[in-house]
């Protein structure tokens, strides 16, 4: 069963879990504890004042935890699961059950949810793990994606819509004079959250990919008012409408550890709040800019880069979106070079696979992308800028990059691979 509590239970058995016994102030206090847990790779349990729901953070704040839930031990197997889930999804991977047998309505309002103000510069209290599911108005399908929610009052949140699929759905409905009916899921199994982070082509329902990622069908239920399919086990399910009303949303410290700018964003009006009828689940809290945020957001793009580069060059040894680049802007790729030009080919394939990528370094297979000093050594000893640099001016990048001009940026690829005809001159001696 895709239950977050099952994952937490496994973490307890492995000794990953640390619990705070007292209630925390939702204004700033949880952040220091989550940061400490994040750096240690542990899973944190805590409660905040004003909510009865128990929070969990750090569910997949290490690559090892992510691979455990995917039931793999190697990068290639994890990447393959992500890529294959795009190619072999099926509605048969969903099993329908009864909503009323799984959920009951929460008598209190959205005020009772443990929204947190993480940083002093934040514009308010936020929910950071919310999966928003909406019907595609022009296709017989749904879209599921993760969006931050800024608490406004007992029934309203500001929702950040980036210009991708949910934004397109919202715009189609807005132009037709309609609100966008949604279900918001909080505290889902990490494989469900990973699926909602993948961004498949428009019209592909992300929940249909869960079965291939997790190895068994996902049980779903349909919400009472709008009939939207949601996972049968989650901490909270909200039904609501993304309205045409706009409010100021932000600032919000995002994945690069910098405040995202204030924007006019739509208001999400909450109609109903539901919680599990039986055992409660955990309310998932993702630290903005933390390891869990980076892995959920960045890992599907890492898989896409791996898939794109392996189609362009014979052998890819390792791909890493680096923590210094927020697992978003910077990549290091090690390849087994067999022909001159493979380094630049890998660079172009990486940029094509992940349009937000700003800088990419390609190294030989004797250099470990997980070791920054080895990557720097390769740049120092194997790069000649006149031959190895690829510069792309004024290309579409990421609006999260504050040095960009509304997302337009200069991109740099660094081919730090050794020339094949002099390869032996660039090999470090092995001490036995």
List the catalytic residues: 254
Residue 372 to residue 50: CA distance in whole angstroms:
44
The SS3 of residue 69 is helix
Residues 143 and 312: their CA atoms lie apart, in Å, by 31
The Cα 360–Cα 362 span in angstroms is: 7
Task: Enumerate the β-bridge partners of residue 31.
Answer: none
Q: Is 341 exposed, middle or buried (0-12, 13-18, 19+ CB in 10 A)?
A: exposed
CA atoms within 13 A on the CB side of 344: 12
Contact 329, 403 (CB under 8 A): no
8 Å CB contact between 139 and 201: no
8 Å CB contact between 261 and 252? no
Residue owning tokens 């500001």:
158
User: Are the CB atoms for 221 and 102 separated by under 8 Å?
Assistant: yes
Alpha helices for 248-388 (secondary structure H) = 291-312, 342-353, 372-382, 385-388
Pairing of strands 218-222, 252-253: unpaired
Long-range pairs of 380-383 with CB within 8 A, sequence gap ≥ 24: 381/426, 382/416, 382/417, 382/418, 382/426, 383/414, 383/415, 383/416
Instruction: List the alpha helices (DSSP H) in 359-423.
Output: 372-382, 385-388
Nearest CA among 378, 166, 387 for reference residue 268: 166
Rounded to whole angstroms, the Cα distance separating 322 from 309 reads 17
Find where tokens 């993304």 sit: 242
The SS3 call for residue 269 is strand
Q: Take residue 133 and report the two structure tokens written for it.
A: 């599911």
Report d(CA 263, CA 281) in Å as an integer. 33
Are the C-beta atoms of 222 and 228 separated by less than 8 Å?
A: yes
């Amino acid at each position: 069963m895709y239950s977050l509590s099952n994952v937490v239970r496994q973490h307890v058995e492995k000794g990953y879990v640390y619990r705070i016994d007292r209630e925390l102030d939702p204004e700033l206090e949880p952040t220091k504890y989550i940061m400490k847990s994040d750096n240690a790779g542990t899973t944190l349990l805590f409660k905040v004042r004003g909510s009865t729901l128990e929070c969990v953070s750090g569910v997949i704040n290490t690559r090892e935890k992510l691979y455990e839930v995917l039931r793999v031990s190697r990068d290639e197997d994890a990447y393959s699961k992500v890529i294959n889930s795009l190619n072999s999804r099926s509605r048969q991977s969903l099993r329908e059950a009864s909503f009323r047998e799984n959920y009951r309505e929460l008598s209190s309002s959205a005020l009772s949810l443990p929204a947190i103000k993480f940083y002093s510069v934040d514009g308010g209290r936020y929910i950071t793990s919310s999966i928003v599911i909406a019907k595609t108005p022009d296709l017989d399908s749904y879209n599921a994606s993760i969006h931050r929610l800024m608490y406004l009052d007992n029934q309203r949140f500001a929702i950040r819509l980036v210009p991708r699929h949910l934004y397109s759905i919202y715009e189609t409905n807005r132009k037709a004079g309609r609100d966008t009916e949604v279900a918001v899921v909080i505290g889902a199994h990490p494989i469900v959250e990973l699926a909602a982070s993948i961004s498949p082509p428009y019209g592909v329902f992300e929940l249909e990919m869960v079965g291939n990622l997790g190895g068994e069908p996902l049980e779903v239920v349909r919400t009472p008012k709008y009939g939207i399919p949601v996972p049968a086990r989650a901490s909270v399910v909200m039904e609501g409408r993304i309205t045409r009303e706009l409010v100021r949303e932000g600032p919000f410290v995002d994945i690069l550890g910098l405040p995202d700018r204030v924007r006019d964003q739509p208001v999400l009006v909450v109609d109903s709040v539901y919680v599990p009828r039986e055992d409660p689940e955990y309310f998932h809290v993702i630290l903005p800019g933390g390891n869990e945020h980076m892995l959920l957001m960045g890992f599907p793009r890492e898989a896409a880069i791996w898939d794109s580069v392996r189609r362009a060059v014979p052998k890819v040894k390792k791909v890493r979106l680096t923590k210094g680049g927020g697992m978003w802007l910077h990549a290091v790729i090690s390849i087994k070079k067999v022909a001159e030009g493979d380094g630049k080919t890998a660079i172009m394939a990486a940029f094509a696979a992940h349009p937000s990528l700003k800088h990419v370094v390609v190294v030989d297979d004797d250099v470990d992308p997980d070791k920054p000093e080895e990557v720097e050594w390769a740049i120092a000893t194997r790069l000649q800028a006149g031959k190895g640099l690829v510069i792309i001016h004024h290309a579409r990048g990421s609006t999260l990059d504050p040095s960009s001009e509304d997302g337009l940026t200069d991109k740099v690829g660094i081919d730090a691979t050794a020339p094949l005809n002099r390869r032996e001159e660039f090999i470090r001696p092995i001490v036995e």
